[in-house]
């Protein structure tokens, strides 16, 4: 974020904010950065707090630039909930420009991140045990998390280095994110702790049901046929959780703003032919043109438009992906469809 823009925004905030601006609202004010952590936070607080979200549905967090109005909301917020893991590269500048002084809640605390190029191998730092097995054969479903809960580097600029921050794509890690948010909300004055605790229990049950449903359906597919090609490297934790082979991505980067080279495109087309991949997936927040081109060159099906995956962002209101749970069901159904599988009915916890 440019320094001049930040300075201007800070002046706007200084001119607009009044000492008693936050006194007229009912309940604490919470700001969340991404669509996923915004959804988690709303599920937890229920009616006990207001939640404002910086990123809109379909908007990438990688190149985000908060408006002066959003910085004003942040300046008045009692708490800020972030994905963490280095996803919000603009976060420190936004906090400095807004003068935010509330409770910072990092949903990625204690979760070890995969490094560049890791897909189902060891994470960037040593992982602890403590997670039920997913659909994989062996131990690929262990949570890459530290049971102690708090990451030591969280206070060092909220940056976990070059790790992959897309941790929510594994529902078990999403549950850890929810736990972190609930723990942080307990430090926010005015939040109804009893309501948060009850909502956390209910939502955790839904996440467990989601994980089990995906596991049982993926398990019907032979391991060697679980192949995936996506727009960018957003599904590392999903493929690890369910023992899926990640053949490659159109944008070989964690950042969806990156551009693939001609050589990288040619290499991916060759990998698709060599491995027998049946489909290429676009993502709802990324232009489908490159995915459609590669699918056409490879002679495979492209999933785009309404059939694109929800990666960096949840969907617009009214779409299948407008909540975290809905987005994951949508993604799993489409991936299973690409493997020729009709998924089983959703469990009761995920219906309605």
- 183 with 295, same domain: the answer is no
Query: Is pLDDT of 251 > 90?
Result: no
- 141 with 240, same domain: the answer is no
What span, in angstroms and rounded, lies between the C-alpha atoms of 125 and 128? 10
What span, in angstroms and rounded, lies between the C-alpha atoms of 103 and 105? 6
Cα Rg of the chain, angstroms: 20
Average pLDDT of the chain? 82
Place of tokens 């917020």: 77
pLDDT at 261: 72
Residue 33 sits in a domain of what CATH number? 3.40.50.1980
pLDDT class for 206, splitting at 50, 70, 90?
A: very high
Tell me if 56 is assigned to some domain: yes
Alpha carbon 279 to chain centroid distance?
23
Which DSSP category does 114 fall into?
Answer: P
Which residue, 155, 179, 211, sits at the end of a domain?
A: 211
Query: Which domain range does residue 244 map to?
Result: 218-340
Tell me if 173 is assigned to some domain: yes
Tell me if 235 is assigned to some domain: yes
CB atoms within 10 A of CB 58: 18
pLDDT at 260: 67
- 144 with 65, same domain: the answer is yes
Place of tokens 């490094």: 115
Asked if residue 305 lies in contact with residue 277, where contact means CB atoms within 8 angstroms, the answer is no
Tell me if 145 is assigned to some domain: yes
Query: Is pLDDT of 122 > 60?
Result: no
Domains contained in the chain, number = 2
- 190 with 311, same domain: the answer is no
pTM equals: 0.82
**pLDDT tens by residue, 124-136:** 433 333 344 455 4
pLDDT at 3: 43
**pLDDT tens by residue, 61-120:** 877 899 999 999 999 999 999 999 999 999 999 999 999 999 999 999 999 998 755 554
- 150 with 243, same domain: the answer is no
């Amino acid at each position: 974020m440019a320094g001049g823009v930040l300075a201007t925004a800070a002046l706007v905030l200084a001119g607009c904010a009044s000492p008693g601006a936050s006194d007229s609202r009912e309940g604490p004010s919470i700001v969340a950065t991404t669509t996923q952590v915004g959804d988690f936070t709303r599920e937890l607080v229920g009616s006990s707090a207001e939640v404002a979200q910086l990123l809109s549905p379909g908007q990438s967090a990688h190149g985000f630039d908060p408006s002066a109005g959003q910085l004003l909301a942040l300046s008045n917020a009692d708490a800020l909930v972030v994905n963490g893991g280095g996803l919000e590269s603009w976060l420190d500048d936004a906090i400095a420009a807004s003068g935010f002084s509330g409770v910072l809640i990092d949903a990625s605390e204690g979760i070890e991140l995969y490094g560049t190029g890791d897909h189902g191998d060891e994470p960037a730092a040593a992982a602890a045990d403590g997670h039920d097995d997913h659909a994989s054969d062996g131990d690929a479903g262990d949570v890459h998390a530290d049971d102690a809960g708090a990451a030591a580097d969280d206070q060092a600029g909220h940056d976990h280095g070059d790790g992959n921050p897309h941790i929510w794509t594994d529902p078990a890690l999403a549950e850890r994110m929810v736990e972190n948010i609930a723990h942080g909300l307990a430090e926010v004055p005015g939040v109804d702790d009893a309501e948060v605790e009850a909502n956390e229990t209910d939502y955790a049950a839904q996440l467990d049901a989601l994980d089990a449903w995906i596991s049982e359906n993926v398990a019907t597919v032979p391991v060697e046929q679980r192949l995936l090609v996506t727009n960018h490297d957003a599904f590392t934790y999903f493929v690890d959780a369910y023992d899926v082979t990640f053949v490659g991505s159109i944008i070989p980067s964690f950042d969806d703003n990156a551009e693939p080279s001609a050589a990288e495109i040619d290499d991916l087309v060759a990998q698709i032919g060599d491995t027998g991949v049946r489909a290429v997936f676009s993502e709802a927040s990324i232009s489908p043109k490159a995915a459609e081109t590669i699918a056409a060159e490879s002679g495979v099906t492209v999933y785009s438009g309404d059939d694109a995956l929800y990666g960096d962002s949840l969907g617009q209101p009214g779409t299948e992906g407008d909540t975290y749970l809905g987005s994951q069901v949508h993604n799993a159904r489409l991936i299973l469809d690409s493997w020729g599988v009709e998924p089983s009915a959703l469990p009761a916890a995920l219906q309605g």
